[in-house]
Structure 1
Amino acid sequence: MSRLLFLPFLASLALSVTAADDYKLGPLSQENPAVPKGKVTQMPVHESKIFPGTKRDWWIYVPAQYTPEKPANLMVFQDGHDYVGTKGAWRVPVVFDNLIASGDMKPTIAVFLNPGHIGDTKPASAWKNNNRGKEYNSLGDAYARFLLEEILPRVTKDYHLTDDPEGWGIGGASSGAICAFTVAWERPNQFRKVFSTIGSYVDLAGGHVYPALIRITERKPIRVYLQDGTGDIDNQFGNWPVANRQMDAALTFMKYDHTFTLGDGAHNSKHGASIFPEAMKWLWR
């Protein structure tokens, strides 16, 4: 190859190596044959009273190390279908297996919840469930009550959860992220840890008020991991990167135990999933 032809090749190679949103999963997101495997169970379809007319799929992960004599920690994930698999982006069961085995997390039961859907015909994709926006973007305590009054009593029927709020976490992406924050904001006496990626702290249903609300409210005992990307959404409802920066600034001003990781990604799970194991180490430290 001539030198003149070789230079453009090197330039294109450099661009491909530093391309935006080029995130990869690390070793803690890969199955390790030497690590004990937890069990994922799909639960019966749940019909809600707090969100009348809605039905949803949901799953429970129980680590291999769980014993009824020792109460487990809890982590709840919104848009559960996106987190529950072992071959997708998040691979929560795989990551939890690895982190629990290494001692970076205590035995933790995970609950994966899809948003509710009204109607007899379920969409092909759970992202299209028609009650998602109402449940996830709305402020107030409705979703927290849904968890505490409907879902978690079903979990504790079979499994022993810690009653220490420091052992209860909740997470999600996009609208699922603001939902997670809202639950901890409304019930800090029960949920103390929040994992938020590409969070929709914009005016989809009034969530843009959180940065101001955080600044004028007495600090709550919650720990927050925030992530977003500079290529996230900018539309009539707000600018996602700006909104997450404002959340970071407000949490910093009020001296919350929090961290903010800003990448160059778009509105997807690539960056969040790539840092998920380290985020869990930080959140559960």
Structure 2
Amino acid sequence: MTDERSNAGNAGMSPEAWEEWFADKHITTEDRAAYADADDTWPEYSLGSNSRPREGVPAGSITVRQHTSSVAYPGIERDYRVYVPAQYDGSEPASLIVFLDGLEYLAGDFRANVVLDNLIAEGEIPLTLAVFIEAGKTGPGYPIFGGADNRSIEFDSIDDTWTRFLIEELLPDAVGELNVSTKPRDHVIVGFSSGGNASFTAAWHRPDFFGNVITHCGSFVDIRGGHNHAPQVRRNPRKPIRMWLQSGRRDARVVFGDLAIANQDMAAALEYRYYDHQFVFGEGGHTLRHGGSVFPRTIRWIWRDHQSATGTY
């Protein structure tokens, strides 16, 4: 699931904005109230200094591109953005971080590019390229809710189609000419809501490519199979995946399931199989406010033992 909204990067929505979001969807009165309650209009979380531009820290470049799938999702178009840090010169392999629903991660509640600028400049994380990916523009929408994009097909399904699309189609186009590390420990995939589910799905199928996962309010619920991830973790040998999960007490509770409970169950499954993981559970709702406030700590933790970082976590 997601907030699928033009102003998703802002905290809180007006009643008019909520009605516009609901307009083309078949959402019950109960679920409308649940989404509104999960919108973080309370100021529990805010961004710190690592998420604000600093004088003397050069900003990386961001290039907007388009992609049309030819294999996994034939004919489906999407936008994506490539971030290249100012320090990149191609002389050494750079790490890679992939954000699903990229515009939300660039918006005001998160500012992922600013965090990368600051932490790379300080040497607290390795030199890192980033790809900010949007969901496919056209598709069947969500089960029950409806809609007109391909996001649910891509992000909520738990087969390997999305994983193959990323690794075989989109990422070669996005970073093919750049010097990117091939080591899974140098690759991170990040997602919010259904994008969190898709991030874990990608690593689950290809831990030899994505060695690290960050999820914010991950939709590990009964949409297109996400509720099966926790049982899969419990029943299979541990995979080489490092994971950070974040959710909150006011996360969404809707027809597909209770996301707060689903994230607790996922964290318990990771604990059961002794995965290297962190679970941060707070007071927030179904937004990126909490995740954005702790993102500098999150990415330091993910790369806390990376040879190219200063180890300040």
Deviation at 1:179, TM superposition (A): 0.4
- Deviation string for 1:238-281 (max 9, x for gaps)? 11010000011000010000000000111111111111111111
- Name the structure 2 match of 1:124: none
Give the length in aligned residue pairs: 256
- Name the structure 2 match of 1:268: 287
Instruction: Kindly indicate whether residue 234 of structure 2 is the aligned counterpart of residue 215 of structure 1.
Output: yes
Could you tell me whether the CA contact under 8 Å between 1:75 and 1:171 is conserved in 2?
yes
Instruction: Kindly indicate whether residue 125 of structure 2 is the aligned counterpart of residue 105 of structure 1.
Output: yes
Instruction: Quote the Cα distance in structure 1 between the aligned partners of 2:138 and 2:168.
Output: 20
- Deviation string for 1:169-207 (max 9, x for gaps)? 100100000100000000000100001000000001111
Higher Cα Rg, which structure:
1
Sequence identity (%): 43
- Deviation string for 1:100-124 (max 9, x for gaps)? 11111111000001000128xxxxx
Instruction: Quote the Cα distance in structure 2 between the aligned partners of 1:211 and 1:155.
Output: 31
Instruction: Kindly indicate whether residue 106 of structure 2 is the aligned counterpart of residue 84 of structure 1.
Output: yes
Instruction: Please list every run of at least 4 consecutive aligned residues from structure 1 whose deviation after the TM superposition is greater than 3 angstroms.
Output: none
SS where residue 147 of structure 1 aligns? helix
Deviation at 1:211, TM superposition (A): 1.1
SS where residue 99 of structure 1 aligns? helix
- Name the structure 2 match of 1:46: 67
Q: TM-score, normalised by structure 1?
A: 0.87
- Specify the code of the residue in structure 1 equivalent to 2:47: L
1:71 to 82, 93, 110: 93
- Name the structure 2 match of 1:114: 134
Instruction: Quote the Cα distance in structure 2 between the aligned partners of 1:20 and 1:185.
Output: 35
Instruction: Quote the Cα distance in structure 2 between the aligned partners of 1:229 and 1:129.
Output: 29
Gaps of 5+ in 2: 1-40, 140-146, 305-313
Could you tell me whether the CA contact under 8 Å between 1:59 and 1:84 is conserved in 2?
no
- Name the structure 1 match of 2:219: 200
Deviation at 1:233, TM superposition (A): 1.2
Greater RCO, CA 8 A, separation 6+: 2
Instruction: Quote the Cα distance in structure 2 between the aligned partners of 1:155 and 1:272.
Output: 25
Instruction: Quote the Cα distance in structure 2 between the aligned partners of 1:165 and 1:24.
Output: 31
Instruction: Kindly indicate whether residue 197 of structure 2 is the aligned counterpart of residue 178 of structure 1.
Output: yes
- Specify the code of the residue in structure 2 equivalent to 1:167: D
Distance 1:151 1:213, change over 3 A: same
- Name the structure 1 match of 2:256: 237
Could you tell me whether the CA contact under 8 Å between 1:21 and 1:264 is conserved in 2?
no
- Specify the code of the residue in structure 2 equivalent to 1:139: I
- Specify the code of the residue in structure 2 equivalent to 1:105: I
Q: TM-score, normalised by structure 2?
A: 0.79
Deviation at 1:58, TM superposition (A): 0.6
SS where residue 264 of structure 1 aligns? strand
Instruction: Quote the Cα distance in structure 2 between the aligned partners of 1:201 and 1:70.
Output: 37
Could you tell me whether the CA contact under 8 Å between 1:74 and 1:109 is conserved in 2?
yes
- Specify the code of the residue in structure 1 equivalent to 2:171: L
- Specify the code of the residue in structure 1 equivalent to 2:110: W
- Name the structure 2 match of 1:4: none
- Name the structure 1 match of 2:78: 56
- Name the structure 2 match of 1:34: 56
- Name the structure 1 match of 2:21: none
- Specify the code of the residue in structure 2 equivalent to 1:102: E
Deviation at 1:32, TM superposition (A): 0.4
SS where residue 58 of structure 2 aligns? coil
